[in-house]
């Protein structure tokens, strides 16, 4: 089954759903930002023991820190919404927590890669080979799920595997579903090392080559 054409109405509906999911995920981000804010407040409280110059420099550094954190969160929200809007609501529910863990560079790369996958035609053999590599890494993680301390990653791997195995999906859409979790698989550090890591790294390099038309 090939992917259906998405109407403008459906695109807007998906984008609205994507932002709704991001609002749910924002709670954990707010907790992180609040934690930093508490540290900043504690440091500011110690300004009385500093000289006027030192206190001014500290205020400048702390204000800049908070500003960068807010900018980073805003950029991540925009990038994640851009990615999530490509998927239906069931897919968004599963991919949302994954995207929330990507840094801005990973989110940008993922978005541009999905743009290329949608806009261009690639040999079915290449699509199938890269999909198989990702699925093998997911299968390895699923088999050893009990050994993984990162329970969110283990659950995301299980859900993405089920999502990508749904009947009727073509290879391109399965690849679109599995691409967002690849950066997390590559950065995984736990009780064991992925035996499929080298193959996954090679596949990820090849996929990123699509961005530059390689």
State pLDDT tens for residues 119-167. Answer: 888 899 999 999 999 999 999 999 988 888 888 999 999 999 999 998 8
Show which of 66, 100, 134 is a domain's final residue: 100
Q: Average pLDDT, stretch 46-61? A: 62
Residue 57 pLDDT > 70: no
For residues 37 and 66, give the distance between their C-alpha atoms in angstroms, rounded to a whole number.
Answer: 7
Taking Cα atoms as reference points, which of 156, 25, 149, 7 lies closest to residue 94? 156
For residues 63 and 82, give the distance between their C-alpha atoms in angstroms, rounded to a whole number.
Answer: 29
Show which of 100, 118, 147 is a domain's final residue: 100
Q: Average pLDDT, stretch 182-187? A: 91
Q: Which long-range contacts (CB under 8 A, 24 or more apart) does 47-51 make?
A: none
For residues 16 and 27, give the distance between their C-alpha atoms in angstroms, rounded to a whole number.
Answer: 18
Chain centre to alpha carbon of residue 182: 9
Q: Average pLDDT, stretch 75-82? A: 66
Q: Are 132 and 73 part of one and the same domain?
A: no
Q: Are 28 and 15 part of one and the same domain?
A: yes
Which residue range forms the structural domain that includes residue 70?
A: 1-100
Residue 4 pLDDT > 70: no
Q: Average pLDDT, stretch 197-210? A: 90
- Average confidence score pLDDT of the chain: 77
Q: Are 43 and 109 part of one and the same domain?
A: no
Helix (H, G, I), strand (E, B) or coil at 12: helix
């Amino acid at each position: 089954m090939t992917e259906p054409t998405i109407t403008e109405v459906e695109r807007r509906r998906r984008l609205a759903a994507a932002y709704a999911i991001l609002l749910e995920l924002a709670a954990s981000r707010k907790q992180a930002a609040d934690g930093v804010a508490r540290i900043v407040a504690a440091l500011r409280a110690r300004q009385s023991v500093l000289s006027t110059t030192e206190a001014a420099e500290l205020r400048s550094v702390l204000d800049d820190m908070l500003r960068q954190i807010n900018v980073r969160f805003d950029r991540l929200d925009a990038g994640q919404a851009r990615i999530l809007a490509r998927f239906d609501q069931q897919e968004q529910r599963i991919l949302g927590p994954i995207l929330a863990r990507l840094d801005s560079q990973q989110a940008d790369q993922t978005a541009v890669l999905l743009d290329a996958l949608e806009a261009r035609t690639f040999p079915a053999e290449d699509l199938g080979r890269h999909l198989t590599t990702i699925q093998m890494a997911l299968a390895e993680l699923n088999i050893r799920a009990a050994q993984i301390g990162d329970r969110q990653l283990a659950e995301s791997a299980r859900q993405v595997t089920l999502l990508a195995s749904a009947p009727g999906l073509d290879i391109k859409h399965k690849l679109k579903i599995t691409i967002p979790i690849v950066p997390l698989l590559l950065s995984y550090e736990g009780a064991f090392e992925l035996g499929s890591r080298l193959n996954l790294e090679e596949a990820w390099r090849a996929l990123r080559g699509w961005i530059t038309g390689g």
